[in-house]
């Protein structure tokens, strides 16, 4: 009986620890996508606090799918700004790619890549398109849709 009680207690602790990030009030008004330049990314002028930046290219089919199937539908009910750095729109796309790659510990593998940044520091790098569920997990982890 004691073992069973201990196991149940441990399971409850694990479940409560895993769900603790969801204990905040989420803003369900519509969010937006705002395009930024490499210069804005490098001088950190685009956001205060934790921010999500999606690195993309106009010719990238995975970027298009990620944006149309995950980000845009998600933003209909979650108030956060997703900052998009589209390399295609940069004056020198190759140079911007190289500079972003140098900012990242592992370099830039490809697009789409999602960054969580704060004050010029890259806190997390997520390579590839994400499902709605995985995208929501990222938003919740950093409370990016927290009601103000």
Answer whether residue 119 is part of any domain: yes
Report, as an integer, the average pLDDT of 1-26: 58
Domain hosting 107: range is 26-141
Answer whether residue 82 is part of any domain: yes
Answer whether residue 18 is part of any domain: no
Instruction: Specify the pLDDT at position 2.
Output: 58
Answer whether residue 43 is part of any domain: yes
Higher pLDDT, 16 or 111: 111
CATH number for the domain including 72?
A: 3.40.30.10
Contacts of 89 (CB under 8 A, 6+ apart): 35, 37, 58
Q: Structural domain tally of the chain?
A: 1
Instruction: Specify the pLDDT at position 10.
Output: 46
Burial of 10 (0-12, 13-18, 19+ CB in 10 A): exposed
Looking at 17-21, 26-30, 42-46, 56-60, which range is the least confident one? 17-21
Q: What percent of the chain has pLDDT over 90?
A: 75
Answer whether residue 32 is part of any domain: yes
Answer whether residue 79 is part of any domain: yes
Residue 32: which of 70, 69, 83 has the closest Cα?
Answer: 83
């Amino acid at each position: 009986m004691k073992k069973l009680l201990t196991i149940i207690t441990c399971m409850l602790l694990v479940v409560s620890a895993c769900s603790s990030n969801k204990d905040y009030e989420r803003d369900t008004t519509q969010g937006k996508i705002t395009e930024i330049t490499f210069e804005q990314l490098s001088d950190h002028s685009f956001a205060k606090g934790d921010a999500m930046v999606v690195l993309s290219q106009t010719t990238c089919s995975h970027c298009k799918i990620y944006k149309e199937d995950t980000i845009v539908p998600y933003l209909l009910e979650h108030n956060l700004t997703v900052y998009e750095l589209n390399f295609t729109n940069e004056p020198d796309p190759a140079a911007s790619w190289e500079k972003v790659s140098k900012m990242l510990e592992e370099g830039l593998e490809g697009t789409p890549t999602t960054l969580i940044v704060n004050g010029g520091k890259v806190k997390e790098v997520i390579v590839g398109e994400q499902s709605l569920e995985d995208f929501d997990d990222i938003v919740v982890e950093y409370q990016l849709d927290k009601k103000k």
